[in-house]
Structure 1
Amino acid sequence: MSHLDTELRLLNDDILEIMYLVKTQLEKGKKALITFDKELAHDIIANEKRVDGLELKIDRDCENILALFNPVAVDLRFVIASLKINSDLERLGDHANSIAKYILEYGHAIDEKVIKKMRIVEMYDTAIQMLSNVFSAYIAEDTEKARKVFSKDQLLNEINQQAASSTAKLIQKDPKNIELYLYLFSIIRKLERVGDLTKNTAEQLVFYIEAKVLKHKKLNSKKARDQEE
């Protein structure tokens, strides 16, 4: 095995580790919200340092591989994709951390019926499933699994779009709990961003494996529709 192969294998292991870590952070966040588990929320915040440290290590390793080994073709795509995936996963971890802080700042158990009514459990389940799909797709280098993320992200966008009016109605009906509804609205916005970042990760997997840039295709498609209109 060459030095480059060794470095790429180690980089692959680190990407898997940060992916698993942020998925676990998200899973803990769901449980902490539903059960008002303050210790679990504190655990998420403490683990954010691990996510940040791993992100910095992966960045340095990618830079060293590019500088020392001059990778080409699929190896180069893997390193470029790893840089972008790493950044998106770290930001995803930031959102999980912010949600944990919201839970602690509110400081009270939340009626599970309210959480479900605002479709936050549904969002969490969808976001976690998206991350699981990406995790499996990354391990198997399976772009079909990666593409399953795109349709799931539409559900998160739909819930997010309805959230403002749903929150306003709840506040009008129950103004004494305005703080609670605003916290839950903020969590919805964070989970929508989690979906976007997970979708970005799936797009980078397709780029690495198939050498296809999906983001540019979507932009070109939008321009074509605008010109037709």
Structure 2
Amino acid sequence: MAQIESEILQLKEEVINMWVLVNAQLRKAKLAMIDFDKDLAWEVIVKEKRVNGYELKIDRDCENILAIRTPVAVDLRFVLAVLKINNNLERIGDIAEGIAKYIIHTEAKFSTELLKSSKVLEMLEVGFSILDDALAAFENENTMLARGIFQRDEFLDEINKSAIEFAKAYLQEHPSETDELLHVLSIIRKLERVGDQTKNIAEEIIFYIEAKVLKHNNDK
């Protein structure tokens, strides 16, 4: 095996490990929200440093491959895609940390009715599913799986767009839950960004496999 092939395989493994960590961070944030577990929320916040460490390591490894190995064709596209995927994953890690901080700063547990009617739990499940599919697409070089992410991201966009109208109606019936409602609205906005980041990842997967740039292109 050529040296560049070995280094690219190692780089891919590093990205997968970061992906697993970010996914775990988001899932812990969900559990902390449902159970109002502030200790678990603090764990998410503390572990964000590991996510940042992965990002820095992967960036350095990409830079070294570009500088020393001068990759071409699919190898070059892979390294360029990893640079962007790495950044998107780090931002999803930031989002998980942000959700955890809302839990820390919320005085009362989110009501079951609020979590259900706001559709924030549905957003989380869709977020997990597209993040899992993006990882599978990355591991298996499956562009069909990557393309399946775009439509589900639109579902997250729609919930986010309707969040303000939901909040107005909910607040009329539950005025005592104002603070909790505001935090849930903020979490909804963050989850919409999880969809955006994952969609960006899917575009990068398609780019490096098919040499096709999809950004700013409505025909996906």
TM-score normalised to structure 2 length: 0.96
Which stretch has the larger CA shift, 10-19 or 34-43?
Answer: 34-43
Q: Give RMSD over aligned pairs.
A: 1.1
Separation in structure 2 between the aligned mates of residue 26 and residue 216 of structure 1, nearest angstrom? 28
Moved over 3 A (4+): none
2:113 alignment partner in structure 1: 113
2:25 alignment partner in structure 1: 25
The CA deviation at 1:42 is 1.2
2:162 alignment partner in structure 1: 162
1:129 alignment partner in structure 2: 129
1:63 alignment partner in structure 2: 63
Separation in structure 2 between the aligned mates of residue 109 and residue 14 of structure 1, nearest angstrom? 37
The CA deviation at 1:108 is 2.5
- Aligned-partner residue type, residue 129 of structure 1: S
Superposed CA deviations along residues 8-55 of structure 1, whole A, max 9, x for unmatched, are 111101110111111111111111111112221111111100000000
Aligned length: 219
1:90 aligns with 2:82: no
The CA deviation at 1:192 is 0.2
The CA deviation at 1:171 is 2.1
The CA deviation at 1:174 is 2.5
1:42 alignment partner in structure 2: 42
1:142 aligns with 2:142: yes
TM-score normalised to structure 1 length: 0.93
Unaligned runs of 5+ in 2: none
Aligned partners of 2:21 and 2:51 also within 8 Å:
yes
Superposed CA deviations along residues 93-117 of structure 1, whole A, max 9, x for unmatched, are 1011000000110033211221010
Q: What fraction of aligned residue pairs are identical, expressed as a percent?
A: 48
Unaligned runs of 5+ in 1: 222-229
Which stretch has the larger CA shift, 43-52 or 165-174?
Answer: 165-174
